[in-house]
């Protein structure tokens, strides 16, 4: 008799069932093997290999500079660590906006070279043709509406989106269109909670919010932000579960002190 317990893997169908049953979906970002292993063991449902890697891992001011090759590198590191979670990979800026053929080629590269399970791309009606083409290759697609950071130079600021009637109406129409087109879920970033709730209750696919209130089907945060590794990012929507910046800083300082004072290594820490 095998003592191995079968892990129930999270698929897009499982996520759909969760929405139907009213079970909330927990999603966090992951960009490397070690963090992804902990996330998976903790029981996270979705790991997003977000293009926020451009900020968090590479120190860029925006998500625009990260390349498709770099996203594939991060995603393949995450995939190697995961047993249960669904791994969704962001299509980076410039890898899908050209035309639907480019969107498909980039998505195929992500699936083939990283082993990721799905792709995410930003936008509504303007990218529907690309979504159709990606889906036609059997690749699951997650949408992303509201504050879409790849368009930051169009918006001009990272403030809350869709506060005005027209933009809110467009967002609802886009969400319905993404569902009709075949997206398995949608991320809504930084929009009023009431609007996000309206979207979540008017479509049947899961809606995952970030800065979009509690009336949606799940939540996503950037792992480094919720761990408090980044002490310079403190938006209202962020709940910090730790202050790792301070803890890491004091650990590094202690190590430096121990090395300089010849306290490390001691007799037991050598061969």
Applying CB under 6 A, which residues contact ligand KIV? 29, 48, 50-52, 90, 187, 189, 210, 220, 222
Chain mean position to CA 184: 15
Nearer to ligand KIV, 7 or 25 (CB): 25
d(CA 19, CA 136): 24
Q: How far is the CB of 128 from ligand KIV (least distance, A)?
A: 19
Nearer to ligand KIV, 139 or 210 (CB): 210
Is 189 catalytic? The answer is: yes
**Distance linking the first and last C-alpha atoms of the chain:** 42
Nearer to ligand KIV, 52 or 76 (CB): 52
Q: How far is the CB of 51 from ligand KIV (least distance, A)?
A: 5
Nearer to ligand KIV, 2 or 158 (CB): 158
Q: How far is the CB of 123 from ligand KIV (least distance, A)?
A: 12
Q: How far is the CB of 98 from ligand KIV (least distance, A)?
A: 20
DSSP annotation string for 219-238: EEE-HHHHTT--TT---TTP
CA-to-CA separations, 171 to 20, 90, 186, 188, 262, in angstroms, rounded? 23, 20, 11, 9, 61
For 213, counting Cβ atoms within 10 Å of its Cβ (0-12 exposed, 13-18 middle, 19+ buried), the class is middle
Question: Which residue, judged by CB position, is nearest to ligand KIV in the bound state?
Answer: 50
The catalytic residue among 6, 17, 167, 189 is 189
Helices then strands, counting H and E runs in the chain, come out as 11, 8
Catalytic residues: 189
């Amino acid at each position: 008799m095998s003592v191995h317990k079968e892990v129930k893997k999270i698929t897009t169908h499982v996520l759909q069932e969760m929405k139907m049953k009213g079970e909330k979906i927990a999603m966090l970002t992951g960009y490397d093997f070690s963090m992804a292993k902990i996330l998976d063991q903790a029981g996270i449902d979705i790991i997003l290999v977000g293009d926020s890697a451009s900020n968090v891992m590479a120190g860029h001011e925006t998500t625009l500079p990260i390349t498709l090759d770099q996203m594939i590198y991060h995603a393949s590191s995450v995939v190697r660590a995961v047993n249960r979670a669904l791994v969704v990979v962001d299509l980076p800026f410039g890898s899908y906006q050209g035309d639907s053929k480019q969107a498909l080629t980039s998505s195929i590269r992500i699936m083939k070279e990283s082993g990721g399970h799905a792709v995410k791309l930003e936008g509504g009606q303007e990218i529907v043709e690309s979504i159709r083409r990606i889906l036609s290759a059997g690749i699951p697609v997650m949408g992303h509406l509201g504050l879409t950071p790849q368009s930051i130079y169009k918006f001009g600021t990272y403030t809350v989106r869709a506060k005005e009637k027209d933009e809110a109406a467009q967002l609802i129409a886009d969400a319905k269109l993404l569902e009709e087109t075949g997206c398995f879920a949608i991320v809504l970033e930084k929009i009023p909670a009431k609007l996000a709730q309206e979207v979540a209750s008017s479509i049947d696919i899961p809606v995952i919010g970030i800065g979009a209130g509690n009336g949606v089907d799940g939540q996503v945060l950037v792992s480094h932000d919720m761990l408090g590794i980044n002490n310079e990012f403190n938006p209202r929507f962020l709940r910090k579960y730790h202050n790792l910046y301070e803890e890491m800083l004091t650990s590094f300082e202690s190590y430096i002190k121990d090395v300089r004072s010849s306290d490390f290594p001691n007799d037991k820490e050598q061969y």
